[in-house]
Amino acid sequence: MKVRGSEGALSLDAVDMKIDSVRIDGRDSRFKFDKKKGRLRIPAVPKKESTVTITYTKQVADDVIVGLYKSRYGKDHMLVTDLEPAKARTVFPCKDEPLYKAVFKLTVTTDRGISVISNTLSRSEEVTEDGRVKFEFDPTPRMSTYLFFLGVGSFEERSIASGKTRLTVASRPGQSHKGEFILETSAAVLKGYEKYFGIGYPLKKLHLIALPEYHTGAMENWGAITSRESFVLLDENSSAADQRTGAGVMAHEIAHQWFGDLVTMKWWDDLWLNESFASFMDPKMIEKLHPEWDPWRDFLRFGTFRSLNADALSTTHPIQAKVKSVEQVEGIFDSISYGKGAAVLRMLESYVGEEAFRRGVAAYLRRFEYSNARGEDLWEALGKTSGLPVSRVARAWITKAGFPVVTVRTSNGKVKFSQSRFRLNGEETDGSWPIPLNLQVDGKPRTMLLDRKSMSVSARKPLEVVVNRRRTGFYSVLHDKEGYDQIARRFATLHSHDRAGIINDLYLFLQAGKIEPELYFRFVSLTARLADLLATELVTDQLANLRAIADEAGIVRESYTEFYPAQIQRIGLFRKKGEDDSISTVRETLAEQLARTNMYYARKLARGFAAYQEVEPDIRAAVALSYAVTRGEAAFDPLLKLVMDASNELERAKVYPALTSFDDPSLVEKTLELGISGKVSRSDSRFIILGAASNPRARATLWKWLVKRYDRLHDIYGGSFQFYLFLDRAIPRCGIGHESEVRRFISGKRFKEGETTFRRTFELLDTNSGLRQRLLAS
Ligand SMILES: [Zn+2]
């Protein structure tokens, strides 16, 4: 590496490797390697620019699934990297912080017949004297270490051109033809961003690499995006929902090529800026390509609404989290950094206007390209293009944990709004945000800044004022009884997004014990009668969660027994010719729950199992589930065979809900074991564990298994996003009835980087247990 020794000694991060020698400008140098701390100190680096050559050996561990690891398929594997936030130091000695940008010039020598992928194009490939092949890559632009990528293996590629850029899907052999849809979509997305940002994509190529084993979703390595197979390899066996998800993920990662890669945060406390922005751009871009998909529907369902839930916990954190050490970074790749951050950006966009927002973003990227920036720099740019106090509003939202509930009261031609902080544990606390209130007053949209405790507006029809119109704001809205009666009367006439917002708020209030359960279920009943795709999906998610934690509660059973059949009768159990893709995505969600809860539909769906490969992709998971539910133990082996014969992740993912749906604990445990056995991709544990967590009769089994296998799971997935998912998505369900045991067990297993997740897990478990009690009592 070329360095300038202004600090005197050079201190580098280097972990899990053996340092053989250090030379400075060709001469041997002293060095001190503290293996435990992962620090390599080279004492005497001259002030002038010099070349430091470090010879080191790195052994690739067998178990791991982060850093430099073996992504396996069958008996083969590819060697790949996944380095965010701080694993580059386990691959090469470096200054492993985002602020230190460098130009990488990579040369790789491998056996013949193997290909190598990195951030840039390989400029030459020559055969060495001993018959191997040496790949030399173009220098990268100045970039942060965590964006480096190296992949070595038998990659199969398929390419198209998008303007001056070559776009390539790379996969294991025999799979790349399934990348056609993602290639086409990504080409259009890339062009869309070039136009939006006003800055061309700076590299000659962009790889989209499908990894057979991958711990997270996808990663934005510059010029070499990596992903789970299920987001890239889509074919006629993929459902409309699979395509939507894949397209959305790529739109997110491609946005990072500018926002994150070209301009990078100075330090990890601004990680959210990367993630929120990419999450916000995804629906914006997809809406241009597929307006019929209404991508804001998924943005609300998976982003805004989920993060409201997470942000209502007292264990939440400000969007701009305090990150003192790099270990703490892992805990903040969560719905606050992604979902809440993105929702706040959307709120700011609706406050400053779309064009002023775009111009501000473009100016910010231009100013800081190939360098680093902070959130403040973006607010400043947005303030300049809009002339509004963006910094003040943004600062309040990103530095304060939690969000406000706006309480609405009406009297004598006036609507009064007041705000306080909302918490799931029911505690009301003071707290005030500058809220850009997005209203609909007497039929007309209107924005006003609520930047004190309360304020009023006059309206001819106060009871019809819509608050948080289209749900562009990050706050919940609480009405009084008269307000809800009035909303119930005109519920069918509201905009779908407004309706979903009301349902989501009621669900929050239900969990907090702020309303009687009957009020929430009254609105579920109203939704059952409506054709509203977002509201249907949302209620389906909520009822599935309520069933997972309180299946015995009569009020829950009655509700889903009414809701699911009413909705499936509306859209039909089977796909109709020429049907809109959006309907098919709702059917996928709905049919799965019907299979779990309704014998009549389960029998009907199970008939499809005989010709499983011909079943429409959107109901495959439901057909497999129905087969398991109706057949019991006899279904296990045929389902297992489906998994073992499946050619890719998506196909397997559709069978795991079935394999974890059994009443018999030994069968569920067999499936859980399969996930970590090495016989299937280690990426699959995500589907398996979350599948088991959706089965109310598997709660005890799953908890016992997690205790038994905790260390093993940590060995494989520790330090990965997947591991946190097991904690805060599975334990709040399966830990019910074992609350103090959960605390005791986990407290003995704590580790620094998991602190935030542990606390969140406990609180979510308490929330679920409390809700369960209230539902059983009502
Ligand atoms: Zn991202």
Neighbours of ion ligand 1 (CB under 5 A): 275, 278
| DSSP code string of 520-577 | HHHHHHHHHTS--HHHHHHHHHHHHHHHHHHTT-HHHHHHHHHHHHHHHHHH-SSPPT
Distance CA 674, CA 671 (A): 5
750 has a pLDDT exceeding 80:
no
d(CA 395, CA 319): 10
More confident residue, 63 or 595: 595
Are 189 and 162 a contacting pair, CB within 8 Å?
A: no
* Alpha-carbon span 438 to 296, nearest angstrom: 17
Q: Is 253 a catalytic residue?
A: yes
Measured in Å, residue 572 CA sits from the centre of ligand 1 at: 36
* Mean pLDDT value across residues 189-193: 98
- 265 C-alpha to center of ligand 1: Å? 13
pTM, two decimals, is: 0.92
Among the listed residues 220, 229, 253, 651, the single catalytic one is 253
Query: What does the pLDDT look like over 272-307, one tens digit per residue?
Result: 889 999 999 999 999 999 999 999 999 999 999 999
Tens-digit pLDDT profile for residues 166-180 = 999 999 999 999 999
Cα angle, residue 241 at apex, residues 240 and 247 outer, rounded to 5°: 90
Amino acid, single-letter form, for residue 151: G
CA of 220 to the centre of ligand 1 (A): 7
Please, are residues 366 and 385 in contact by the beta-carbon 8 Å criterion? Answer: no
Distance CA 13, CA 411 (A): 64
The secondary structure element, H or E, covering residue 257 is none
d(CA 32, CA 19) in angstroms, rounded, equals 9
Give the pLDDT confidence of 613-656 residue by residue, as tens digits. Answer: 999 999 999 999 999 999 999 999 999 999 999 988 999 999 99
What gap in Å lies between CA 581 and CA 603, rounded to an integer?
A: 25
Long-range contacts of 610-615 (CB under 8 A, 24+ apart): 612/642
d(C-alpha 658, C-alpha 677), whole Å: 19
Is residue 6 over pLDDT 70? no
Instruction: Give the pLDDT of residue 5.
Output: 60
| Ligand 1 centroid – CA 651 distance (Å) | 25
Task: Output the CA 543–ligand 1 centroid distance in Å.
Answer: 29
Output the CA 722–ligand 1 centroid distance in Å: 15
Residue (of 744, 772, 774, 778) closest to 758 by Cα position: 744
pLDDT tens, 38-74?
999 998 777 788 899 999 999 998 888 899 999 999 8
Q: Rounded CA gap, 606 and 591, in Å?
A: 12
Structure confidence at residue 326 (pLDDT): 79
% of residues, the chain, pLDDT over 90: 85
**278 C-alpha vs ligand 1 centroid, how far in Å?**
6
Indicate if the pLDDT at residue 114 is higher than 90.
yes
Q: What is the DSSP letter of 130?
A: T
Average pLDDT over residues 223-227: 98
Residue type, 737: G
685-722 per-position pLDDT tens digit: 999 999 999 999 999 999 999 999 999 999 888 877 77
pLDDT of residue 7: 59
Of 310-314, 661-665, 748-752, least confident by mean pLDDT is 748-752
pLDDT digits (tens, 9 = 90+) for 461-501: 999 999 999 999 999 999 999 999 999 999 999 999 999 99
Least confident of 149-163, 324-338, 643-657: 324-338
How far is the centre of ligand 1, averaged over its atoms, from the C-alpha of 777 (Å)? 42
CA–centroid distance, residue 623 to ligand 1 (Å): 33
Q: Could you read off the pLDDT of 556-583 as tens digits, one per residue?
A: 999 999 999 999 999 999 999 989 888 9
Instruction: Spell out the residues 6+ positions from residue 408 whose beta carbon is closer than 8 angstroms to its own.
Output: 415, 416, 417, 465, 467, 477, 478, 479, 480, 483
CA distance 610 to 606: 8
Residues 6+ apart with CB under 8 A from 215: 65, 66, 82, 682, 683, 717, 720, 721, 722, 723
Q: How far is the CA of 688 from the centre of ligand 1 (A)?
A: 24
The pLDDT assigned to 41 comes to 95
Model pLDDT for residues 348-398, shown as the tens digit of each residue:
999 999 999 999 999 999 999 999 999 999 999 999 999 999 999 999 999
Q: Which helix (H) or strand (E) holds 439?
A: strand 435-441
pLDDT above 70: residue 610: yes
Please tell me the distance from the alpha carbon of residue 295 to that of residue 42, in angstroms, as a whole number. 52
Token pair 């002293």: residue: 30
The confidence score (pLDDT) of residue 334 equals: 82
CA distance 728 to 492: 35
Whole-number average pLDDT of the chain: 94
**Widest distance between CA atoms in the chain:** 91
Q: How far is the CA of 647 from the centre of ligand 1 (A)?
A: 27
CA 32-33-37 angle, to 5 degrees, is 130
